[in-house]
């Protein structure tokens, strides 16, 4: 009888612990079924990097927004786009504030330690920009200069890895702040991408802004939490499908006025 009571008590403890664990588990989508059940896809997106992400009439818009809208359409659910920044996009994903990111997020091995990526759905070139009068032929030429970058961005990573120790890297919360710092004279150079570079040069012709160095080609992936293999498989299938039926090309032509670049598959 004593042994039976002990077993019964132990079973109750195990059941209580299981219930506690389930109640503490994060209530965010990890699978296609989770999203279908929720009836809504929640996507994190940068809104300060046109034409990938911007605000139009108070609503998120751009290339990444159109991809997110198409995903929700194919899933048959509503869409909520949550604006994120470079520094907080991974925390927003990992804490369940969003189901995934279409946030111009470059695919790198370092980032893949925290998150997992889909096959590429867009691409940009990361560049070092500066005035025409400043001669830069290699990273050795940026010694003792100040470089503005968006914190935790691909340009931050590239410049940090290759700049001489005497280079001062000024980190800002977003590309817009880094651009303003450069234009105001706080920095000698700016790390950016080809899209932002074109806009910066076009809107500030007197600055004579030009590309000094190509830092890397960056392929972006839709970003999910590690362990979301079912959801990643669906996203990859979705991207493969819209690449082949022309819908992704149409989005690229809409925002960049050119065909979709060749994107690798891995």
**Tell me, what CATH number does 143's domain have?**
3.40.190.10
204 and 132 assigned to the same domain: yes
**DSSP characters over 45-88:** EESSBTTTBEEETTEEESHHHHHHHHHHHHHTSEEEEEEE-TTT
Task: Answer whether the bond into residue 162 is a cis peptide, omega within 30°.
Answer: no
∠ CA 120-218-263, nearest 5°, is 35
In a shared domain, residues 169 and 88: no
pLDDT of residue 196: 84
Q: Which helix (H) or strand (E) holds 93?
A: helix 89-94
Q: 199: domain range?
A: 125-216
Task: Kindly list the averaged pLDDT for each block of 10 residues, start to end, along the chain of length 266.
Answer: 49 45 49 95 94 95 98 98 95 96 94 97 93 95 97 92 97 93 97 88 93 91 96 98 98 91 86
In this structure, the answer to whether residues 222 and 157 fall within a common structural domain is: no
Q: Is residue 238 part of a domain?
A: yes
CA 123, CA 145: separation in Å to the nearest integer? 28
Q: What is the predicted pLDDT for the residue at 238? A: 98
């Amino acid at each position: 009888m004593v042994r039976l009571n002990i077993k019964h008590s132990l079973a109750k403890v195990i059941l209580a612990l299981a219930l506690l664990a389930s109640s503490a588990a994060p209530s965010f989508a990890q699978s296609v079924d989770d999203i279908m059940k929720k009836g809504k896809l929640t996507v994190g997106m940068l809104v300060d990097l046109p034409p990938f992400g911007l605000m139009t009439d108070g609503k998120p818009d751009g290339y990444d927004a159109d991809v997110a809208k198409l995903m929700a359409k194919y899933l048959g659910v509503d869409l909520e786009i949550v604006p994120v920044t470079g520094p907080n996009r991974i925390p927003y994903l990992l804490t369940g504030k969003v189901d995934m990111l279409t946030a111009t997020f470059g695919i790198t091995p370092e980032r893949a330690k925290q998150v997992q990526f889909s096959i590429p759905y867009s691409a940009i070139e990361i560049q070092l920009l500066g005035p025409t009068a400043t001669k830069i032929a290699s990273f050795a030429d940026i010694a003792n200069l100040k470089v503005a970058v968006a914190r935790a961005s691909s340009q931050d990573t590239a410049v940090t890895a290759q700049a001489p120790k005497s280079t001062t890297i000024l980190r800002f919360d977003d590309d817009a702040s880094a651009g303003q710092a450069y234009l105001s004279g706080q920095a000698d150079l700016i790390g950016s991408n080809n899209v932002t570079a074109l806009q910066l040069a076009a809107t500030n012709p007197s600055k004579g802004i030009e590309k000094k160095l190509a830092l890397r080609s960056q392929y972006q992936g839709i970003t999910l939490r590690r362990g979301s293999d079912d959801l990643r498989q669906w996203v990859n299938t979705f991207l493969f499908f819209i690449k082949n039926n022309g819908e992704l090309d149409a989005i690229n032509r809409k925002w960049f006025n050119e065909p979709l670049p060749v994107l690798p598959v891995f």
